[in-house]
Structure 1
Amino acid sequence: MATVVIPAHNEETVVGAGVETLLDGAEPGEFEVIVVANACSDRTAEVARKAGARVVETERPGKANALRLGDAACRSFPRVYLDADVRLSAASARALIAAARRPGVLACAPVPDMDMAGVGWLSRRLHKVQERLVEPTRGLAGTGVYVLSEEGHARVFPMPDVISDDGYVHASFAPHERVVVPEARSLVRPSRTLSANLNRRVRVRMGNRQLEELGRPVSERRLSLGDLWALLRARRVSPLDAGCFLAVLVMDKVLTRLRAQRGGQVSWGTDATTR
């Protein structure tokens, strides 16, 4: 048995389908699914139970807290940590678990597939450029799923109260200790509107700053304008794509700076445009 932990804050519209997708085609007892209904005011816990998950409920908000509670309820390794709005099939979960059992592999993640249904034209361009930029150095962050071996788990948990849990996990391992498993895919719903995109990007940027302060920078190499220019020269993105991306990049940097100056805190929230 492998255990899957799903932190869920007011996720009644998606958590049931996520659990059902994972368990569909699974052998009896193959996966134990633990949903942590975290400070929910909706039917998340009820829906998760009906879908076949064991539910842990808490009134304390915060994704890191939900992950710690779910992790404490686990009984086996490797352990899969899955976002409530991300779909992962049983076959992909098996591939990830098999990878995490290989010698020397402490953590792994799938390749994300983007569900672009309902995404606005500007957001489509932003996600296209972002995906092209991160492809060569894709890691554990941004896939909605990561898996830890027992040795890898000891390095990550108990997880501190960080904004970016997947960034923290990624930064906890050297490149040779973490792998992206190409035969495993996760279905991720990106932000559909410009406003939602900006909120997410500000959150990511502030989360990355926090990790740098903790001595765990997410990336060994920062993306640069040169990377964007290389995509343009290779005609993998259009000038309009690049222009939209740069404009939003400037906006999110300004918003991040303003929020930091005002002492703004980033809390665990739900992007309603992806539900």
Structure 2
Amino acid sequence: MTDPFSDTEEPFTIIIPANNEAAWITACLDALLDQTPDAGTMLVIVSANACRDDTVALAQSRSDAFTARGSRLAVIDNEIPGKPAALNRADALAPQGPRAYLDADVACAPTMIAALRHALTPGEARFATGRLTVAPARSTITRRYGRLWKSLPFNAPGAAPGAGLFAVNAAGRARWHTFPDLISDDSFVRLHFTPDERIEVAEPYLWPLPEGFANLVRVRRRQDAGLAELRQRKPELFRPEQETAAAPGLIFKLLLRQPLDLAVYMAVRIAAHLRPATGGFTRGR
């Protein structure tokens, strides 16, 4: 069997932290297997941490398929929980060059990796992501919350929020050493780059929201806690040009256009602030 990295092409590394992702990991990896040929050689590292389901076995079952397309899949099975540690274990195995960090419940469009590879050319530090598309929701509450959330300035076209998927070139990866023990790893990385250094490619990726009011509240509570933690521990990252302010009158405009969506969104936010987040990873799906 030939080594998929025996030629001179620099592999595009894709790091996927995974904790009990049996319901999602197969679709995530199959979407990578469906990437167009111009995606080039990929090194996909699934960094499983403290999994108690079939995540590892399901990921390993795709190994031969990646080899057949001239790429490689590596699966780390570690008993120590925690997403930052899982990211760091995978980072330690990655070669120099462009790399993406992908949540296990995200499915990329077939042209995503080629677009990210093209955007992350060597040279100036760059951060890149795709066009975040909220996956179709089963519950009315989640659909309304998602519609309002997508209307916020943070998700404006070209804003490159990077939730669930972000990528950097080698110069961009040099902006930080290792992932600290923080909740908001995506915001931690994104804030290392100015708006002019962020690229949002046109290719979409599906990002699911938690289903139902209680799950939305739990995850929102943790997101809020993650941002507060980041502000407290890394205040230097919050420069004025990094802030995405709401346009004057936005709430009034949303009230006129999306009154029920706004009511759901505000109810989730208020409920999330009623009590602080507890420890541990929270997905709510």
TM beyond 0.5: yes
* Change over 3 Å in CA distance of 1:25–1:142 after alignment to 2: closer
Residue aligning to 1:56: 76
Q: CA deviation at 1:212?
A: 0.5
Q: Alpha-carbon deviations, 1:94-145, whole Å to 9, x = none?
A: 1012111175451111111111242x11221111111101333764445310
Cα distance in structure 2, aligned partners of 1:102 and 1:232: 45
Q: Where does the alignment leave 5 or more consecutive residues of structure 1 unmatched?
A: none
Cα distance in structure 1, aligned partners of 2:15 and 2:226: 21
Q: CA deviation at 1:21?
A: 1.1
Q: TM-score, normalised by structure 2?
A: 0.84
Residue aligning to 1:7: 17
1:174 aligns with 2:187: no
Match of 1:92 among 87, 98, 112: 112
Match of 1:230 among 230, 247, 253: 253
Match of 1:221 among 224, 244, 251: 244
Q: Where does the alignment leave 5 or more consecutive residues of structure 2 unmatched?
A: 1-10, 64-72
* Change over 3 Å in CA distance of 1:217–1:199 after alignment to 2: farther
Residue aligning to 1:81: 101
Residue aligning to 1:146: 166
Q: Alpha-carbon deviations, 1:183-224, whole Å to 9, x = none?
A: 221111111111110011111100000110121349513448
Cα distance in structure 1, aligned partners of 2:54 and 2:123: 41
Residue aligning to 2:42: 31
Q: CA deviation at 1:244?
A: 2.2
Q: Alpha-carbon deviations, 1:30-56, whole Å to 9, x = none?
A: 211110111111221111111123101
* Change over 3 Å in CA distance of 1:23–1:159 after alignment to 2: same
SS of alignment partner, residue 255 of structure 1: coil
Residue aligning to 1:41: 52
Cα distance in structure 2, aligned partners of 1:220 and 1:165: 17
RMSD: 2.2
CA contact under 8 A between 2:142 and 2:213: conserved in structure 1?
yes
Counterpart amino acid of 2:249? Answer: G
SS of alignment partner, residue 174 of structure 2: helix
Residue aligning to 2:230: 211
Cα distance in structure 2, aligned partners of 1:228 and 1:179: 28
Cα distance in structure 2, aligned partners of 1:137 and 1:171: 18
Of the structure 1 ranges 13-22 and 28-37, higher mean CA displacement relative to structure 2 is found in 28-37
Residue aligning to 1:124: 143
Residue aligning to 1:157: 177
SS of alignment partner, residue 155 of structure 1: coil
Match of 2:281 among 252, 265, 268: 268
Of the structure 1 ranges 23-32 and 171-180, higher mean CA displacement relative to structure 2 is found in 23-32
Q: Which is helix-richer, 1 or 2? A: 1
Cα distance in structure 2, aligned partners of 1:41 and 1:225: 48
Residue aligning to 1:114: 134
SS of alignment partner, residue 12 of structure 1: coil
* Change over 3 Å in CA distance of 1:208–1:217 after alignment to 2: farther
Length, aligned pairs only: 260
Counterpart amino acid of 2:56? Answer: A
Residue aligning to 2:273: 253
Percent of matched pairs sharing the same residue: 30
1:177-216 matched pairs, under 5 angstroms: 177-181=197-201, 183-213=202-232, 214-215=234-235, 216=237
CA contact under 8 A between 2:129 and 2:199: conserved in structure 1?
yes
